[in-house]
Chain A
Amino acid sequence: MNDRKQSDKARLQLMIIRIVVYAILIFLTFLCLVFFYMLIINSTRSNAQLQAGFSALPQGHFIDNLKNAWTDASINIPRGMLNSFLVASCCAVLTTYFSALTAYGIHIYDFRLKKPAFLFIMAVMMIPPQVSAVGFIQLMYKLKLTNNFLPLIVPSIAAPIVFFYMKQYMESVLPIEIVESARMDGAGEFRIFNQIVLPIMKPAIAVQMIFSFVQSWNNYFIPALLLDKAEMKTVPIMIAQLRSADYSKFDMGKVYMFILLAILPVLVVYLILSRFIIKGVTAGAVKG
């Protein structure tokens, strides 16, 4: 009797908590979606309608805007998306792989410079990227690497923040015992990393891949200073260019359509990778 009462109470409590939780989630969902909604609405409106003021209802210019954006003579958006995709994928792969490798090197092995190396990375993590940007641009000019994707891709090998994440993640999920048992089985060090450690790190890698892909996809500052040939431009440069194009072509409907196009691929990549995170419960792998 008492037990049932208590479980009833607990159930009621759980229901109230559930309602509160769902209410919070719905509120946050609204906050997040309202801006996408506005973006989509705006992409259905003509420039004149946009200039005239705000509206909560869509209007019939979506196809016009899409056509204008796709066939724009000076801004080749398919090309830009291809470029951005290339750069962002390379960055995502390099960043996660080498950060995990570095974190593994510091986490598992003991060597004299281990602590200084770790402290060094921790220290440089705080330096704002804006600080090195100008020197970097000058260097790239000297090396004649402008209008080249390498300066956008290669630096992603060294990402202190991603390294730090991987290191922290390894501390919670990668006991040394796994590595040692693999060694006893005669596996080489590189094979241990690629075939045993990387799979365990999958959730962390998926998360960081999304982050670095998005970061690279949206990156404007450095690419804008390094890329200026039409066939090399990435999406953010094109959007900025559209916005600061001369005023006769200042078609806000087209601008919103470009922004919409610019975030769609990122969204798709995100949806694909987010499955890894949910599946990636690694708890069992460490047991024993």
Chain B
Amino acid sequence: MKKQLSVILSVITVAAALAACGGGSSAPATTAAPAPETTAAAATEAPATEAPAAETEAAAEESGEGKVFNIYAWNEEFKGFFEKYYQVPDGVTVEWHITPSDNGAYQQKLDEALLNQENADPDEKVDMFLAEADYIVKYADDAATQDITALGVDDFSNTYNYTVQAASDADGVVKGVSFQCCPSALIYRRSIAEDVLGTSEPDEVQELLNSWDKFNAVAKDAKDKGYYMTASFAETYRVFSNNCTSPWVDADNNLQFDPQIEAWIEQTDDFIANEYTLTAGIWDDEKNKQMFADGKTMCFFGPAWYFNFCMGNAQDPEKGCSGDWAICEGPAAHFWGGTWLMAPAGTDNPTMLADIMNTFINDEDVCSKLVENEAQFSNNQAVNKKFAENPDYGSEFLGGQNDVAVFSAMTDNIKWENHTIYDQLLNEGLQNSLQEYYKGVSDKETALKNFYNYVNETYPSIITP
């Protein structure tokens, strides 16, 4: 797979370089040169940001790049990293367009801007936008984004494979990069594991929970001892859905349920009936409360960002239980979330765009700081390896466990397959509809019919059963 990809990439790079030379006759002859140079510099030099930035600036002036760099995002997370770790070339102003994602407002805003890209003033054109895993296909597999290898972002030797696949279109053309990698782990309470399993050592726990059969059996033991296995009926959804063997819709646009989804429904039926889990949704307070020291739940699922973003209760100095946690891979490899930097077609700052992308995936210094200072699991294998192999590196929250090592070991098993542009809302819609069934409000058939109604309203092109 990797080999194929790199062949495709190199072919595209060559083609793009030729095209650039051919088309560049009107611009100064140096147009094509700075980009690869910048890449090389970013990849090798340690305190890279300064040097290539100066070069880019020169390049920007020569090639007449835009003075305003417009970035579209839905929150401030990446803005923080960007301002700390990226040196903006002199003479360029970065304009952030941040629209909260509530009710799909971010995508609406972005869609209007992208569809208007051709007619927009140069200073108003979208120069980069951020996208999440749940809807990245919608943008990657569309002419609204462009091939980044042609811009000089072509070294993916250190990035994780699935993050490249996710940002590629159906033909394998790469349209963006992720600055983080989000393998998701089983996060368990050490004290409860000790009680239920007789051990809290990650290796031993993994051995006891490495398949769904074992997981389900342990759920019963946990219940017998007065614990919940998970705190939300949807907790295990992603673990199943990331491993689907078929997409949500078939070739004729018929909605279909993958065996993995069926398996999740079956497992959840069982968990609810036996009270192994709560009827709370994945973001509900009812679930979050279980993260306090007096919580009765053994397992949660989440990637590196989950500790800081979602486990505030566990880290609470008074009522939390920091240090009583540990992670292991769990029943199946999966990922959750991640933010991709996407290259829109028609940007008037291609060099700077490529420079930003290279900085966040290939600049070892920046990637190290992301791990060290920002608790990210970076999208640079070499950097992560450095931390994984460092015996002194460990997370206090996880009782000293080296989470980077665990996550690194998991990355090889993550698959990016069978995704569609519909995934985000179909996954959400199914969970929302079935929650009513699990809460006992409606029967299963009604819940599924409500889901089909939702699909018809949301995606008119999908044919429901």
Contacts and interface: CB of A to CB of B under 8 A. Distances in A.
Query: Is any CB of A less than 8 Å from a CB of B in the complex?
Result: yes
A229 B372 CA distance: 31
Between A224, A229, A243, the greatest number of chain B beta carbons within 10 A of the residue's beta carbon is seen for: A224
Contacts of B102: 240, 243-244
Contacts of B288: 51
Contacts of A241: 75, 98, 100
A238 B452 CA distance: 35
Interface string A227-249: 01110000001001101111111
B309 A48 contact: no
A228 B109 contact: yes
A250 B309 CA distance: 8
Contacts of B313: 48, 51-52
A74 B289 CA distance: 29
Interface size class of B (residues with CB under 8 A): 35 or more
A52 B318 CA distance: 10
Contact of A248 (B74, B108, B309, B316): B309
B215 interface: no
Contacts of A39: none
Tell me which of A48, A225, A249, A250 has the highest count of chain B C-beta atoms within 10 A of its own C-beta.
Answer: A48
A229 to B, nearest CB: 7
A52 B285 CA distance: 9
A137 interface: yes
Given A48-B318, A52-B292, A229-B95, A243 B105 contact: no
The main secondary structure of chain A at its interface with chain B is helix
A22 interface: no
A247 B308 CA distance: 7
Given A74-B76, A246-B77, A224 B312 contact: no
B112 interface: yes
A244 B74 contact: yes
Contacts of A47: 312
Majority DSSP secondary structure for residues of B touching A: mixed
A247 B109 CA distance: 22
Given A246-B76, A247-B308, A225 B318 contact: no
Contacts of B108: 225
B116 A141 contact: yes
B416 interface: no
Contact of A52 (B74, B97, B319): B319
A241 B159 CA distance: 31
B348 to A, nearest CB: 17
A17 B229 CA distance: 60
A48 B116 CA distance: 44
Contacts of B95: 229
Nearest to A48: B316
A143 to B, nearest CB: 12
A257 to B, nearest CB: 18
Nearest to A246: B77
Nearest to B108: A225
Given A52-B316, A229-B95, A245 B309 contact: no
Query: Which of A53, A144, A237, A247 is the most central at the interface, judged by chain B CB atoms within 10 Å of its CB?
Result: A247
Interface string A43-80: 00001100111000000000000000000001000000
Contacts of B112: 137-138, 141
A111 B99 CA distance: 48
B96 A51 contact: no
Contacts of B98: 74, 228, 230, 241
Contacts of B33: none
Contacts of B124: 144
B23 interface: no
B100 A240 contact: yes
Contacts of A52: 292, 313, 316, 319
Nearest to B319: A52
Given A229-B95, A230-B96, A245 B312 contact: no
Contacts of A229: 95, 97
Query: Looking at A52, A74, A245, A246, which has the most chain B CB atoms within 10 Å of its CB?
Result: A246
Contacts of A230: 96, 98
Contact of A225 (B74, B105, B289, B292): B105
A177 B134 CA distance: 68
B76 A224 contact: no
B317 interface: yes
B439 interface: no
Interface string B108-128: 110010001000010010000
Contacts of A249: 76
Contacts of A237: 100
A196 B285 CA distance: 58
Interface string B223-260: 00000000000000000000000000000000000000
14 contacts: A47-B312, A48-B316, A48-B319, A51-B316, A74-B98, A144-B121, A228-B109, A230-B98, A241-B75, A241-B98, A241-B100, A244-B75, A244-B100, A246-B76
Interface of A: 47-48, 51-53, 74, 137-138, 141, 144, 224-225, 228-230, 237, 240-241, 243-250
Given A51-B312, A247-B308, A247-B310, 14 more contacts: A51-B288, A51-B316, A52-B316, A74-B98, A224-B99, A228-B98, A229-B97, A230-B98, A241-B75, A241-B98, A244-B74, A244-B101, A248-B308, A248-B309
- Which 5 A-B pairs have CB atoms at the shortest separation, nearest pair first? A247-B309, A244-B100, A228-B97, A246-B77, A48-B316
